[in-house]
């Protein structure tokens, strides 16, 4: 069965800490992996990864994909309270490449304390 597993499920850190969120997947005919951030209701897009070993970076956030080991990590450096959110990892559903059908992990709830 195709699936996406995120860890940890929840995490509490203090401002300034660096965090690493994990996402492993088992899906046939993998094509791409996406990260989203959900603060209140609407998830917002962070990164899309298709190639192994190439880091995507945006400010304090970065992500990398390992297609051999079937996982991705999302790093957040110098965390701020505004980083508190649910971080969602998703992969394209097999047979539905480049459409709106994604398989999501359960998410990692990050709380950043002042």
Partner 1 sequence: KAGVTQTPRYLIKTRGQQVTLSCSPISGHRSVSWYQQTPGQGLQFLFEYFSETQRNKGNFPGRFSGRQFSNSRSEMNVSTLELGDSALYLCASSHLTRGSGANVLTFGAGSRLTVL
List binders of partner 1 among 90-109 (CB under 8 A): 90, 92-93, 96-107
DSSP class of 15? T
Strand-pair partners of 98: none
Minimum separation from the CB atom of position 104 to partner 1 (A): 4
Contact 77, 18 (CB under 8 A): yes
List binders of partner 1 among 23-52 (CB under 8 A): 32, 34, 36, 40-45, 48, 50
DSSP class of 96? -
The number of helices, as runs of H, and strands, as runs of E, in the chain is 0, 11
Minimum separation from the CB atom of position 17 to partner 1 (A): 25
Strand-pair partners of 85: 110
Minimum separation from the CB atom of position 71 to partner 1 (A): 18
Task: Report the distance separating Cα 10 and Cα 58, nearest Å.
Answer: 23
> Exactly one of 19, 88, 110, 112 binds partner 1 (CB under 8 A); which one?
88
Site size toward partner 1 (CB under 8 A) is: 27
Token pair, residue 24, equals 């492993």
Q: Which is nearer to partner 1, 50 or 62 (CB)?
A: 50
Judged by the rule CB under 8 A, the positions of this chain that interact with partner 1 are: 32, 34, 36, 40-45, 48, 50, 88, 90, 92-93, 96-107
């Amino acid at each position: 069965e195709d699936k996406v597993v995120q860890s940890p499920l929840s995490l509490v850190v203090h401002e300034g800490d660096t965090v690493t969120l994990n996402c492993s997947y088992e899906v046939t005919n993998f094509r791409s992996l996406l990260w989203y951030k959900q603060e209140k209701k609407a998830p917002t897009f962070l990164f899309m990864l298709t190639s192994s070993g190439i880091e995507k970076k945006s400010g304090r956030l970065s992500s990398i994909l390992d297609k051999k080991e079937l996982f991705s990590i999302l790093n957040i450096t110098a965390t701020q309270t505004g980083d508190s959110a649910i971080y969602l990892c998703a992969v394209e559903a097999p047979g539905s490449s480049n459409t709106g059908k994604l398989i999501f992990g359960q998410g990692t709830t990050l709380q950043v304390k002042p």
